Amino acid sequence: MTPLVVEAEVDIKRSPQDVFDVCSDLAREPEWNQMVKRGMLAAVKLVHTIAWFAIESCVAYVLWTGFRKQTDRHVAIAAAVVATETLIFAGNGFRCPLTQVAERVGAERGSVTDIYLPRWLAHNLPAIHVPLILLAGHLHRRNFRQQSRAGPA
């Protein structure tokens, strides 16, 4: 078998030391290693999807207890989770903070549609989420009024 010699010339506008420094710096590895970039992006998507599921579970719980006329400490905790997420989202210009993280690790655009959900659902989350939060608030306000009129048990 004869050896195969491949000759190629690449014009790198950096010194060999600069190239070595970039390739050996683990913090900069996503810049040149596509597998690391894809893995980091998948991790961001997974974390975002888990956070979304936890927050939406809280929304569902607050709605469910509102319809059941049950307002207690557990509801307050779930409502605090939803309120915190809403304030963070609004405080970040109605853009998820993980969007910047996804873009930093290489997403073309790190939006809410970059989570592991059907595209139509991910795209319409704010339009679905806001009325549900308002409904939950209305239900629990109604519960408080009825409890305060009934007096202490």
Q: Side-chain half-sphere of 49: how many Cα atoms within 13 Å?
A: 14
The pLDDT value given to residue 79: 94
The pLDDT value given to residue 23: 63
The pLDDT value given to residue 27: 62
The pLDDT value given to residue 78: 96
The pLDDT value given to residue 19: 66
The pLDDT value given to residue 111: 56
Q: What is the pLDDT along the chain (153 residues), one digit of tens a residue?
A: 777 776 666 666 777 777 666 666 656 666 666 777 778 888 888 888 888 899 999 999 999 999 999 888 999 999 999 999 999 989 998 888 888 888 777 777 655 455 667 778 777 888 888 899 999 999 999 988 888 887 665
The domain locations on the chain are 29-150
Q: Which residue type, as a one-letter code, is found at position 132?
A: L
Q: Report CA torsion sign: 110, 116, 119, 121.
A: negative
DSSP state of 106: T
